[in-house]
Structures are given as structure tokens and as C-alpha cells.
Structure 1
Amino acid sequence: MTDYVPFNHLTEPADVAVVGAGIIGVACALRLARQGRRVVVIDQQAPGHGASFGNAGHLATEQVFPIADLSILKRLPAMLMDPMGPLRLDWKYMPRALPWFTRLLLNLRPAPFKRTVAGIRALNESSLGAWQRLLATLERPDLLKEDGSLLVFERAESRQALEALQARMTQQQVPVDFWNAQAVRQAAPQLSEQIQGGLFFPQTGHFLDPYRVVCELVQAAKNSGVQFLQRRVEGAHLSEQGVSLLTDQGRLDSRQVLVACGAHSAKLTAALTGKKVPLDTERGYHLMLPHEHQRLPFAVTSLERKFIMTPMTDGLRLAGTVEFAGLDCPPTMERAWQLHRLSKGLFKRDLSAEAATPWMGFRPSLPDSLPIIDRVCDGRVMLAFGHQHLGLTQAAVTAEMIAQMAAPLTGNQAQSLPATAPYRLDRF
């Protein structure tokens, strides 16, 4: 999707300038345009070529807990020393990451942890319905397979941890079923005999091609009058008319701006609001196996090996590692190839890595594991970023929330959406 409209002088300010052409920015732009807004989307890359291109494709409504817990303290030495571990902190980046990790640990105390879980759960519970509504308007419900997902375990000693997780999820009203080894083999017969069982999550699903989803949204947005500009935003300030964005191709004025540029949102947010947000990035990797079709019926995660395998149109995608190394450090593509090594033994016949392609992208993460979804500066600035590894899952419901903030609906028009208080900017 490279057919950006070239730069041209806008004769009048746009109603909304959306900075960021990932899944969240494009979904929001489409919703705003359908409200009758004149919308322009700005990104230095073509739509969907950031984190939205290479995510795991899993509609992860079951993941209501933060990615880290207090055991992270015990794992810190391994995070620093093992470059191939599932959760890695680059030791050179540690001085810059330390304040963020300190806030992360403070948010793991009982009261803030409870607030975090409630905030994630509220978004996730609304996510599937929001995606169903959005895909229905595109007449492409086939892009999402609503067939559940499975978390498997291999070692008998892991069963206790799995049952404890099931109890915690049941407490949070996450639909979950325990499957024994026979049930796993019946549903996914190509998995190894050494798998002992797992947890099945019936209210989840997976996208057959996450990038295609972005492309479909872009086309629908263009059909609704949205203009896409490929340029780099270098600064911004509030103006009498609304907002002025300074780009590498000149100034662009709009009545409102939506900051939705993922891991790159902190600088622009600070320029517009004066608020320094503690935004960092979880660098995620995937390995795409183009010769592996029909291996799995749905997304499968390994409890012990800590990665996910998602069947897609173009093959099988292995994903799920987390690396804290910032925006500037070059990717460690060996981490992507490590995913293939981790898959060995999970199937009766090992996966083929012939013609496999590695990828790395930036997941925007805040220390309380909640996004910022807000409307500030007298309504001139809207914010939608920080969804960590749940950006794809929460994109459609975020778009509905942003659309309602931009033009509040009442009565039968309004969707039942999560309360916005947990996601406000002023919590920092």
C-alpha cells in the first residue's frame, strides 16, 4: 500500500489531522471521516508498515493481565545476560530504561495492578464486538477467524501454573476451558504427542493477514474522503485555528489533531500538551514461514517456550518475544530466527524455515500497561497510543472511543463503550 497522495497545498485546514498510519490511526481516521469530518492522515511510512505490519495477528481478548509481574525482579539477570531470552533488556539501554522499569514495578503493587487489569479488561471485552462492527462495514468479516486460541503446556509440572492461570482468568470473567491432551490432539492433530493439554479461549480469534486489514481500512477511508500524506512530522504547536504541524514538506493546519503514531508519540504529545509521557517500546519480532499452511486451525501459544504461532494466508507466523532496547538500536534479527528453534518439538514434523522472512517492530508501551485515549487542550488534541502488544486487538474499540470523543453521541446512537477515565493523559 504505497499509493499515498503526493503533497499539495491544502486550501483550508483539515478538520482532523491524524498523525500515524498504523492500524489505530487508520481505523480512527475512517470513523472520523464517516462522521463527516475532513480528515488527513500523515506518516513518514506507507500505511501499515510499522508495528501493524508484523504483529502476531491474534485477537488477544483473553490477555487481561500486564505482560510483567513481580517475578520480573528474579528474571532481571537473565534478561540482561541472555540475548535470545523471551524477555530481554539490552544492558546498554538499561540506564535509559531504569526510570520506566521503576514505574512499572510501582504499578505492580496491589491497588494499581487491580486498576490496570480492570482497564485492560474493559477494552478487551469490547474489542471483538467493535471489530465485528467495523469489518461488517467493510463487507470483509472473512478477514477475522473467530475460532478461539489455545495455550498449551508440555511438562507435567507446568499443569499447576496453568490451572492457577485458569483460576485467575475465570475470576476476571474471561471465557476459558481446560483441554486435556486428547482434546488438543483432536483439534490440532499435527501438534506433538508430548503436549499435555492446554487452555482454550473461545472468545478470541486471529486475522488472516494483519497488513491486508490495514489496506482494506485505508481504501475505505479514501472512499470516505480521507487524504493520506507521506511526510515526517518534525514539530507542532497549538494555534488560533487549532493545531499547526511542522513537517519536512511544510506546515499543515487542522482544527484538531489525533496523535496515534505508536512508539513515536511521546515527542509530539509533549510539544502539544507540555506533558512528558513515560512511553517506551517493546521491540517485537516475528518469523514468517511461507511453506507452512494447514499446520494449525487457530493461534497456539506455548506456555513454556513463550511464543505464539498464528496461521495466516501467507503461511505460519511465529511471534511473541519482547526486547527493551529503544527506538535507535538496530534490530537483532537472530531473535526472530530463534523462534524457529523454539518451535522444534512442538509438532510431529518440524516446521520448514525455507524462504522464511524475519521482522522487527516497535510496540508502544506505558508503565501501567494501559493506553492513552483522551481529548485534551480544549478538544484540539486527541490521543490514541500506548496499546503495547494489544494494538491490533484494541484498534476498533479505540476508534469508536475517539469518534465519540470527537462528536459525542446520545441515546440510541451511542455504543456501550469503556469509560475513558483509566486512559486519560493526566494520570501521568
Structure 2
Amino acid sequence: MAKPNQADIVVVGAGIIGVACALQLARQGRQVLVVDAQAPGMGASYGNAGHLATEQVFPIADLSILKRLPAMLLDPMGPLRLDWAYLPRALPWFIRLLLNLRPANFQRTVAGLRTLNEGSLGAWQRLLRSIGQAQLLREDGSLLVFERAESRVALDALQQRMQQQGVAVEFWSGEAVRTVAPQLSDAIQGGLFFPGTGHFLDPYTVVGELVNAAKAEGVQFLQQRVLDGRLDDSGVSLMTDQGVVTARQVLIACGAHSAKLTAALTGKQVPLDTERGYHLMLPHEHQRLPFAVTSLERKFIMTPMVGGLRLAGTVEFAGLERPANMQRAWQLHRLSQGLFRHDLNDRDATPWMGFRPSLPDSLPIIDRVCEGKVLLAFGHQHLGLTQAAVTAERVGQLAAGESMPELQPYRLDRF
């Protein structure tokens, strides 16, 4: 590149999706510059649950959210929380969420999620093999367990719904569960095993290895905050806190922070909100579970990683500005009590909070607009890690000018 603030295409966002896309674009011969206010992988990609969630083909909420709304407002430690102070801003988003649960809209969402998820495992296999890091993904399935006998009805209904969507799923008895995970409690009645899923040994390491591969392909990284942008005849100019970055094209892939720049460049106001997700990392827990295990009743996930056992899964709607409530992260340890024969060791545990970018129809935006000058890849809610590699492949095709009618469900103009 002639100058460090010029490129053929600039990627705004150095999370898992932005970095995967940058690598894909560089391999297509593009001069790529990645710009982010944080170091690569230090946003939501740093602390996600690490679960390759190909089984999650249903929207982030269903009509039962109406019954749960009082608890969401009153219980600060509940698995799904809506901050009172944020309610006025969140209400229009929630109304759109409910409208998207009408039968036709719901089926469009399920079809859109299923399409991306069905291509996710293969895309990740290709991407990790291409950088010599296939060992970072364990393709050993995942498990959803239940403890109360009365939960069996809901579990059977979920299994039937997933089978109807082509999701590979098996019912396991409590004995079968404890055969592969003997440290789980006798209270576990059984669960659903998903053989087509897996987990990453360290999501942050995955981002780092992709960054290394991207740099080897000539991708440059700038740690600057993008403040504004404009289009002109030659492409795009981005105003940052350290100057101006220019390029022929821009890819907006900055997760929950994507709405403002999208509006500046396209004139489109996107109904993007954020699910604030928490995790608690237990560094002294290395032998408890063979793969990711989710509790049906307690509504959180436990994923074994190189750095220990990660507990994750709570959702909080409170926007981008309010400080984190780390008690929600510590609540995850309390939720784990009773799931194991012996309680988990929380010595030296570290809490974390990050922003999951969510749209009211639970589908991301993957699109090419403004005569090809603006590419979009954001809004993947809690499936950003799962869908990152397949999104990168689709963005590469869009950047190459290919007609992609199969991406219709993810177009910007659906809003």
C-alpha cells in the first residue's frame, strides 16, 4: 500500500467476522485495511461461549417473552433481563421482535438461520485448515440437559421441532449423559445431544491466528475509532479519531456498533440493539466436561476451553452505555451449583461482559449496497462465532460482484 490510511477495501471491525472477512478478501487479491477502536478480538469475540451452535435455528425469543416481561424487569439476576432505564429505547425494538414472531415472518427467520448454520461447520473446517489450525475446533457435539421430570415434555417438543428443520439430534438418558460426562450430577434426567456441533478451545486465539494469517496476506490493522463516513465518486472516506481513511469500498462489520456508520453511509436507520452477554471463566476447571453442556432449566452454557471452563449465556438489554453488572457473571457460578457431583472451583475466576449485535428478526445483514461501495456483515446476535466463516465466504462473493439471490433474507432493505 502506498499509504497506511489508504486501501482498496477498508474493513471496520476487528472481531471474528471482520477479521475472517479481511482474510478472505486479501486472498482474493484485495488490498485490505482493518480499522477498529480496540485491538483485534477484544470485543464480543473475546468472551463468547465458544460454542459452534449450528443447532440454533430458531429466533432469539418466542411469544413466551410476553409472559416473562415482568420477571425481566424485576429480577436483575434473571437469565433474560431488561433494564428499567433502557425500556423506552428498547420498546420499539421489542415490538418489532414480536411482529417478527408472526407465522410467516417466523418461518422466514428459521429458514434464514438454518441456511447459514448448515454451511457454518464446513466453512469453519475450510478456514481453519487453510491456516493450519484445525485443532482449535473440537467437532465432538454438544448437549442440552434437563433436571426436572416435567421438563421432558418441552424437551421432546424441541427435539421434534429441530428434527423437522433437519437438525441432527439424539435423546440421551441420564445414564448415557453420565457415561460421557461422569462428573455431572445424578439429578440430570437426560438431554438432547447434537452431533453436528462443536466448540472452540479459545475464541480469542482463533481471532489471533486469523489475524496472523491476514497479515501474512498483506492485511494492515489500524487501532482507530471511526467517527463518521461519507461516500464520493472514488469510494468512501472514513473520519477517525486520528485522521481520514480512504478506500474504494468499505465493509461494515463492527457488530453492535454498526448502526451509526451504516446510517451515515447508506441513509438507512437499522434497528440494531445489543444483547449484553456475560461470562465467568474458571481457570482451575479443566476436566469437568468433554464438550459444551447447556442447562434447559437454568438457561446457561458451560464450555471446556484451554483456559478452563467458561460459563456463559445470560442476556441483558441495557444498551451500549450503561456499565456492566458483573454480579450477573458471578450468578453463573451459583447457577452451576447442583449440576455436578461436586461444585465448581471459582478460585481466581474472572468475569466479563460483551455486546452481541441483535436485529429484531434474529437474522444478520449480509449485503452489498450503494453501487457496491458499501458491504455489510453484522447483526449475527449470539451466532457471530458460529456464522463468521460462512459469512466471510459470502462477503468475498459479494465483493467480487457476484449476484447472490440466496442472500435475499439478509438484505439491508428488509428494514
TM-score tier after normalising by the smaller chain length:
over 0.9
User: Which position in structure 1 is the counterpart of 2:295?
Assistant: 302
1:121 aligns with 2:114: yes
Q: Is the 8 A contact 2:5 2:245 kept in 1?
A: no
Give the unaligned 5+ runs of structure 1. Answer: 1-7, 411-416
Letter in 1 for 2:412: L
1:11-410 → structure 2 map (5 Å cutoff):
13-408=6-401
Q: Is the 8 A contact 2:262 2:269 kept in 1?
A: yes
User: Which position in structure 2 is the counterpart of 1:413?
Assistant: none
Structure 1 residues 353 and 418: alpha-carbon distance in aligned structure 2, compared to 1, 3 A threshold: farther
Letter in 2 for 1:279: L
User: Structure 1 residue 418: deviation in Å?
Assistant: 8.7
* Cα offsets for 1:115-145 (capped at 9, x unmatched): 0000000000000000000001011100000
Letter in 2 for 1:313: V
User: Which position in structure 1 is the counterpart of 2:414?
Assistant: 427
SS at match of 1:419: helix
CA distance in 2, matches of 1:10, 1:244: 14
SS at match of 1:10: coil
Q: Is the 8 A contact 1:123 1:418 kept in 2?
A: no
CA distance in 2, matches of 1:335, 1:300: 19
User: Structure 1 residue 108: deviation in Å?
Assistant: 0.4
SS at match of 2:406: coil
User: Structure 1 residue 239: deviation in Å?
Assistant: 1.4
Give TM-score scaled by structure 2 length.
0.99
Letter in 2 for 1:107: N
User: Which position in structure 2 is the counterpart of 1:5?
Assistant: none
Q: Is the 8 A contact 1:13 1:255 kept in 2?
A: no
Q: Is the 8 A contact 1:166 1:176 kept in 2?
A: yes
SS at match of 1:393: helix
User: Structure 1 residue 9: deviation in Å?
Assistant: 8.0
Structure 1 residues 26 and 294: alpha-carbon distance in aligned structure 2, compared to 1, 3 A threshold: same
User: Structure 1 residue 419: deviation in Å?
Assistant: 1.4
SS at match of 2:398: helix
CA distance in 2, matches of 1:252, 1:177: 51
User: Structure 1 residue 240: deviation in Å?
Assistant: 1.6
Give TM-score scaled by structure 1 length.
0.96
SS at match of 2:342: coil
* Cα offsets for 1:45-87 (capped at 9, x unmatched): 0000000000000000000001100000000000000000000
CA distance in 1, matches of 2:227, 2:68: 38
User: Structure 1 residue 13: deviation in Å?
Assistant: 3.6
> Aligned-residue CA RMSD in angstroms?
1.3
* Cα offsets for 1:359-387 (capped at 9, x unmatched): 00000000000000000000000000000
User: Structure 1 residue 12: deviation in Å?
Assistant: 8.0
Identify the range of structure 1 (400-409 vs 373-382) with the bigger mean alpha-carbon deviation: 400-409
User: Structure 1 residue 409: deviation in Å?
Assistant: 6.3
Percent of aligned pairs with the same amino acid = 77
* Cα offsets for 1:8-38 (capped at 9, x unmatched): 9827841100000000000000000000000
Q: Is the 8 A contact 1:371 1:384 kept in 2?
A: yes
SS at match of 2:264: helix
Structure 1 residues 62 and 144: alpha-carbon distance in aligned structure 2, compared to 1, 3 A threshold: same
Q: Is the 8 A contact 2:5 2:244 kept in 1?
A: no
CA distance in 1, matches of 2:228, 2:5: 20
Q: Once superposed, which parts of structure 1, at least 4 consecutive aligned residues long, lie more than 4 Å away?
A: none
Structure 1 residues 94 and 33: alpha-carbon distance in aligned structure 2, compared to 1, 3 A threshold: same
Give the unaligned 5+ runs of structure 2. Answer: none
CA distance in 2, matches of 1:321, 1:418: 35
CA distance in 2, matches of 1:418, 1:345: 49
CA distance in 2, matches of 1:179, 1:362: 34
CA distance in 1, matches of 2:47, 2:19: 16
* Cα offsets for 1:198-257 (capped at 9, x unmatched): 000000000000000000000000000000000010100001210000011111110000
Letter in 1 for 2:119: S
